[in-house]
Amino acid sequence: MISGSPAPSKNKLTQNKFSAVDLRLANASKSMVRERIAFEEGFPKDKDSFIWESIQLVAKDNQGFQDVLKRAEADGALQDDLIEFVCFFILNFSFTLTVFLRLGMQLLVYAAI
């Protein structure tokens, strides 16, 4: 560890915590979140509900994912882990998108000058 850097979190949620099918659902949900942010709700107010709805949308047409969804509904810890894993992505995606849009606006302003 580099001196002065924060200690790594012992509770950091990584993809290693998930089974293969759980991870496939989480990753597919990231794609659904991107799609919904782009076409439905760019800045969801309740991110947890938005993410959980996205997970449910992905799972509804896939029997393997439906089994994971049923387990997550029965096991609050799995549900929280799925939401947290996808939420980390959405926070990074939103930040990157915001920076990209601001940079694009600046370029448009400079191009107009």
| Cα separation, 30 vs 36, whole angstroms | 10
Query: Residue 73: inside a domain, yes or no?
Result: yes
Confidence band, pLDDT 50/70/90 cuts, at residue 5: very low
Strands (E), the chain: none
Query: Residue 8: inside a domain, yes or no?
Result: no
Query: Residue 7: inside a domain, yes or no?
Result: no
Query: Residue 1: inside a domain, yes or no?
Result: no
Query: Residue 50: inside a domain, yes or no?
Result: yes
Query: Residue 14: inside a domain, yes or no?
Result: no
Average pLDDT of the chain?
78
Note down the domain range covering 45.
Answer: 19-112
Is residue 73 within 8 Å of 34, Cβ to Cβ?
no
Query: Residue 51: inside a domain, yes or no?
Result: yes
Confidence band, pLDDT 50/70/90 cuts, at residue 1: very low
Query: Residue 32: inside a domain, yes or no?
Result: yes
DSSP string computed for the chain: --TTSPPPPTT---GGGS-HHHHHHHHHHHHHHHHHHHHT-SS-SSHHHHHHHHHHHHHTT-HHHHHHHHHHHH-HHHHHHHHHHHHHHHHHHHHHHHHHHHHHHHHHHHHH-
More confident residue, 26 or 41: 26
Residue 10 pLDDT more than 80? no
Percent of the chain with pLDDT over 70: 68
Residue 6 pLDDT more than 90? no
Out of 8-12, 17-21, 68-72, 82-86, which region has the weakest mean confidence (pLDDT)?
8-12
Half-sphere exposure of 60 (CA within 13 A, CB side): 7
User: How many structural domains is the chain composed of?
Assistant: 1
